[in-house]
Structure formats: structure tokens, C-alpha cells
A and B are shown apart, each in its own frame.
Chain A
Amino acid sequence: MADELKDAVLNYVAKEYLEDDSEPLTYDTPLISGGIVDSFSMVSLKRFLENKYAIAIPDDEATPEAFDSVNKIVSLVQKYVAKKG
């Protein structure tokens, strides 16, 4: 599940937010501090995660730090998927 989730988030970020597809994107590439996803675009990324995994991420937890890499996003998503049971 974790690997599948990681790949799904990585692929989505690459498809939707990466302007230069020759830039390497890894699970640890800084997304917010690296300027790939800005604070406004974070709203659409959060919406994607909520739609795809049928979860609700509270605004207080959707911080630039929590969205700063694919790995961090996956941790956040897993927390809410687990809560859902």
C-alpha cells in the first residue's frame, strides 16, 4: 500500500506541477520550499488527496512543512487513511 501510494502521489505531482519534465523528482524532492508547489497550488494537491483516498485533511495539518515532499505527504495521508479504518 505504501509504495503504491508513494507512486500515485509522485506521478500526480510530476504530471500536474512539474513544468520541466527533465527535472528529476524523487520522494524527497522539496516541493514547497523547492518552489514546485506554491501555497495556492497546495489547495488543489490537498483536494486530489482527499478525493482519491476519501479522507479529510484538516487545514491546520495542511502546512507547507507537511506537504514539502512526497514522503511527507504520504505520511500525512496514511495517518488519515488509518483513522478512517
Chain B
Amino acid sequence: MSNIGSYDERVKNFSWTIAEKELGYKPGDVINIGWYCTDRICEQGKGSKVALHWEGFTGVEKTYTYNDIRLATNTIGAFLRGLGLKDGERVCLFMDKIPELYLGFLGILKIGAIAQPLFSAFGDESLFVRLSNAETSAVISQKKHVSKVRKILEKLPHIRHIIIVDHDGVAPLKDREVAFSLEKSAPVEHLDIHPTKAESASVLHYTSGTTGMPKGVKHVHYSLISQYLTAKWALDLREDDIYWCTADPGWVTGTSYGIIAPFAIGVTQCVLDAGFSAEAWYKWIEKRRVTMWYSAPTAIRSLMKAGDEIVKKFDLSSLRHLASVGEPLNSEAVVWSEKVFGKPFYDTYWQTETGSIVIGNYPGMEVRPGSMGKPFPGITGTVLDPVKNEPYPTHSKIGLVALKFDWPSRMRTYWNNEEAFQKKFRSGWYITGDRSKLDQDGYFWFAGRDDDIINTAGHLVSPFEIESALLEHPAVAESAVVSKPDPINLEVVKAFVTLKPGFAASKDLDLEIMNFIRKKLSPLAMPQEIEFVPSLPKTRSGKIMRRILHAKEWGEEIGDTSTLEND
């Protein structure tokens, strides 16, 4: 029997107080995610239970019990407080998937500061715009990544401390840098946990915008309520599970379901800090006897590409439940997983802004391969007519995925950008930016984005940000960035580029521009194809018509070109 039991019954009798009661929370109480994920589990007498099995790419292993993570998060919290960091300040985590990332996240929350995780592959420009917007006070990083912070530090007066967790003493520390070693620090038995309340800010994740720079999505400690219950019901996560969430905490899945929900439930988590390889992943499942596996379509398609034979080399019989997130899971992947693992991946749908799963396929409900599923109990979702801004009266029409904005983990605003936040609503509905249709039984079927944002391997990338960065390359006169189809990553970045006089298209220039963007923004933002063109399609008012280029890449109808320049 699954945790959710009957989906229909849960919908009928739903209230978020179910999660509040299980967590022992009452409105008005102090609610601190850091405490819920560590001290509370210990107070339940489970301090000796393994909370985290971690393995690095060199094979180094570390294991932490719940009491270990309680002490480690206290120690980090006390260190940050000792530096003068206070509640409400933003503390960035800029690290690989090492234990300090997971423990640092909770340590930050324990002192009431706001955790700002950033993907460690971000280049200096991506890092700068996010740290600058958040007016971040401190960055916790590793020596391998700190050079990117140093490069932009002069432009970031708000940063008071750069904490290096693996400083080896060989190279001297530089301006504003301080070394911290979790292993060499005396464990702090008692930390006064900041009395955060439901609406106290907890996490700031950055997401791409179509026409502006990245937006900081502000979440609060009360998000725990949604994250806890959706992990139990949608992911069927149980206290005795050995759980592996493959997401990096630089992105929201890696915090909501890679830190907060599993530790609040008290499961044993496994983290493998190594690049992707099918063999390494299967070996990890076998070694750790993983029971619940939450991954992404890109990874699943990469595993499909590696073939069925390799699966047979490993004992994967421990797997009990599989789920997926990040982009639409194609029906072939669902069918394949049933064939090779004996069970399907259950697709889940949500976004940085929603903070937790809002639509999904649940163990207590028929799975329709290729479908996004149905709204989580307590969440009202619909497909809006984009012209009338009201739900379509009949099913099967493609429109905007819209939600009533009333669940605990919804974002509270965009950091320093309330205007952009307000623009996310139409007629009282929160507009996700995705398009879909509903079938006659209420299942959602994904149809694509409603804007120019590119979803590559489950990560949203802004064409605007890439185009702005391209203009900084000395050879680029103008550019337009669109997605192009990709069998593994769903979409990848393609750039159309016109060159300045004196520059000629060449293979070397193509590679130089690719690397320029990779280092400045991130590998995800790097165009995988650059097409040098004599000019770009523009409206008569001079606006680049990405739509035309996008349609060309996807083999779609170009549509109305009446405003096209020189048409």
C-alpha cells in the first residue's frame, strides 16, 4: 500500500494540516527547517540512524548519522554567527555536491540566514548577477571554485566573507577569505536556533527570465509543509527508504527533495558526487541498496542510450519506487523503465517558483505514460485560454498551465523584483509559463513553454542572458538564441550570430565563442551549435524575431511575418 493510498480519497479529504500535525506544527509556532531536519529526528530517538551516505569521485566515502548532522549543522551555524552573520542575510553555497553543501545549507537555516545555493559550474558572469542581485553577505565555497568569486569580488561590496571549506594552507588566503574545516572544528553540542516563523525567508533560488536577468525566487520556512507531504505522497518516501535524489542542490530539486523533505522525514539519503556514467550509477544503486530513486528525464534517456545489457550486470532489485522531474518524461522512457527495472518512472511536475511538486503521477493512481499527471491534493490546476484568461470550458485544448496560488511552498516574491512577481498572475491564476492540455479525465499533457526560455536537461536557460553575454565577445555584432531539439537533453542552445567587420566565420571562432559562453555563464548556456549568418530576422522596429528562427529549428510553421523587416 502506498503512502497516498487512493488519490481520489485524498483529494476529497485534503488539508495541509495533515502535514502540520505529523510535524507537530501549529500556526504561530516557531518553524525552522534546519531544526526539523536534524534536532527533531534526534529528539525522536533516531540520532544513531544514518542520515547521509556520501561518496566522492575518487571513491572517498563519508557516512553521517542524524546526530552527526545535528552537530555538524550546529557547528557551521555557530561558525557563521561567529563571523557576525545574522538572520535574514543571504549566504551563498557555491560548491560541488560535497557534504559541506548539504550540511552548510541546514546550518545557514538554523541561524535564520537565507541559503542561496548556486550551481558550481556557473561562470563568473552568472555568479556576479546572482550575488549582486541578492546583495549576498557571504559565500561558502571550495578552493577549486573560489577563483571565480575572486574575479568578481571587487564589484561585490556586500560580500564580507568568503568561507573556504577545504583550504589546505598551501596558497595564502586572499581578501575577505577565511578557512573553515568541518572535520577539524570542535562539534557544537548546543546552538540557539533562530526562532524563524512560517513566513521567515529560508531559501533563495535563481531562475531564468525571458526578457530580464535571472530572478531570485524567495521561499519561506513554511515551505517544509508542502515539501514533506509531497515527498511522502508523490514520491512515496518512507522512513525506512534508502533514497537517492540525483539533483544538484544548486537547483531547487536538490534542496526541496535532496535536503529538506528527506531529512525531515528521517530517511537515509545517498549522494554520489561524480559525473554521469551508466555503470557508476547502477553500481551506486546496487552498493547502497537504493529503494527510492528520484532522477531526471535527461539522465533516464542517457541510461537508455547506454543499453539494456549493462543493467543486467547489477543487482537493482532493491528499487521499490522511481520518479522523475525536470522536463516532460517521454512515454518511451516510462515503457523502458518498466522493461528493465520492472517498474515505471512516475513523472512529477513543478518549478523553482512552486517549491514542491504540484502535478504528478502518484502510486495511488493510473499512470498514463507521457502525461504530467494530476494536481497534487489541495492544489487547483487548470488550463487557461490565453486570450480570455479563463479555464477552457472543454478539454483537449492547448493553453496555459495555471494554478491557484495557495499552497505552503509557493514562492513569496522575486527578490527585489515585486513587479516581475505580479506579472506571473492573470485573473487570479498563477501562470507557470508552460503550455499543456487536459484530457477528459483531468490528466495534464505537456505541450511546451509559453515563452522563449530554453529547457535543457531540465534546467531553464534564458536566451536573453546568452545573447547579452555573446555581445561581449569581440567578434559578435548581433545574436539570437533559440532552442533546438535534442534526443537526450530535450532541447539544447543554438545561437545565430552576425559578425563585426574584420571577422570571418571559422571553426576556430565557433569553438572560441562556445568556450567564451561556457566560462562566462555555464556549460548549460553554451551554444551547442553556432550558425554564422549575414543578418537576423527583425521586425520593422528592429526587434529580433527569435520566433522565426525557433520555428525553423523545430520544423514548425513560421506564422505571421507581416511585421518582418524587408519582407
Which residues of chain B come closer than 8 Å to A19, judged between CB atoms?
Answer: 144-145, 147-148
Are the CB atoms of A35 and B528 closer together than 8 Å? no
Which residues of chain B come closer than 8 Å to A43, judged between CB atoms?
Answer: 514, 526, 528
Which residues of chain B come closer than 8 Å to A39, judged between CB atoms?
Answer: 275-276, 302, 457
| CB of B387 within 8 Å of the partner chain | no
CA distance A33 to B274 in the complex (A): 5
Are the CB atoms of A30 and B57 closer together than 8 Å? yes
What are 15 A-to-B residue pairs whose CB atoms are below 8 Å? A20-B147, A22-B143, A32-B276, A33-B57, A35-B274, A40-B456, A41-B523, A41-B526, A43-B514, A44-B514, A47-B511, A48-B511, A64-B277, A65-B277, A65-B279
Are the CB atoms of B515 and A34 closer together than 8 Å? no
CA distance A35 to B171 in the complex (A): 23
Which residues of chain B come closer than 8 Å to A3, judged between CB atoms?
Answer: none
Which residues of chain A come closer than 8 Å to B518, judged between CB atoms?
Answer: 40-41, 44
Residue of B nearest to A20 (CB): B144
B490 CB, min distance to chain A CBs, angstroms? 13
CA distance A8 to B514 in the complex (A): 19
Are the CB atoms of B528 and A51 closer together than 8 Å? no
Using known A-B contacts A19-B147, A19-B148, A23-B144, determine if residue A40 contacts B277 with beta carbons closer than 8 Å: no
Are the CB atoms of B171 and A22 closer together than 8 Å? yes
| CB of A38 within 8 Å of the partner chain | yes
- Total inter-chain residue pairs, C-beta < 8 Å: 74
| CB of A16 within 8 Å of the partner chain | yes
Are the CB atoms of B277 and A44 closer together than 8 Å? no
B277 CB, min distance to chain A CBs, angstroms? 5
Are the CB atoms of B275 and A20 closer together than 8 Å? no
Are the CB atoms of A47 and B277 closer together than 8 Å? no
Chain A 24-74 residues near chain B, CB threshold 8 A: 30-35, 37-41, 43-44, 47-48, 51, 63-65, 68
Chain A interface residue count, CB cutoff 8 Å, equals 25
Q: What 4 pairs between A and B have smallest CB-CB spacing?
A: A40-B523, A20-B144, A32-B275, A41-B523
Which residues of chain B come closer than 8 Å to A38, judged between CB atoms?
Answer: 121, 275, 523
Chain B 135-193 residues near chain A, CB threshold 8 A: 143-145, 147-148, 170-171
Of B58, B144, B302, chain A has the most CB atoms within 10 Å of the CB of B144
Using known A-B contacts A30-B57, A51-B507, determine if residue A64 contacts B275 with beta carbons closer than 8 Å: yes
Residue of B nearest to A41 (CB): B523
Per-residue contact bits, chain B 302-314, to A (CB 8 Å; 1 contact, 0 not): 1000100000000
Which residues of chain B come closer than 8 Å to A65, judged between CB atoms?
Answer: 277, 279
CA distance A48 to B279 in the complex (A): 27
CA distance A35 to B58 in the complex (A): 10
Which residues of chain A come closer than 8 Å to B279, judged between CB atoms?
Answer: 65
Are the CB atoms of A44 and B526 closer together than 8 Å? yes
A36 CB, min distance to chain B CBs, angstroms? 8
**A-B contacts besides A33-B57, A40-B523, 16 pairs, CB < 8 Å:** A16-B515, A19-B147, A20-B145, A30-B275, A32-B275, A32-B277, A38-B275, A39-B457, A40-B526, A40-B528, A41-B518, A43-B528, A44-B514, A48-B511, A64-B275, A64-B277
A57 CB, min distance to chain B CBs, angstroms? 14
Which residues of chain B come closer than 8 Å to A30, judged between CB atoms?
Answer: 57, 275
Chain B 58-75 residues near chain A, CB threshold 8 A: 58
CA distance A19 to B122 in the complex (A): 11
Which residues of chain A come closer than 8 Å to B171, judged between CB atoms?
Answer: 22
Using known A-B contacts A16-B515, A43-B526, A44-B526, determine if residue A34 contacts B148 with beta carbons closer than 8 Å: no
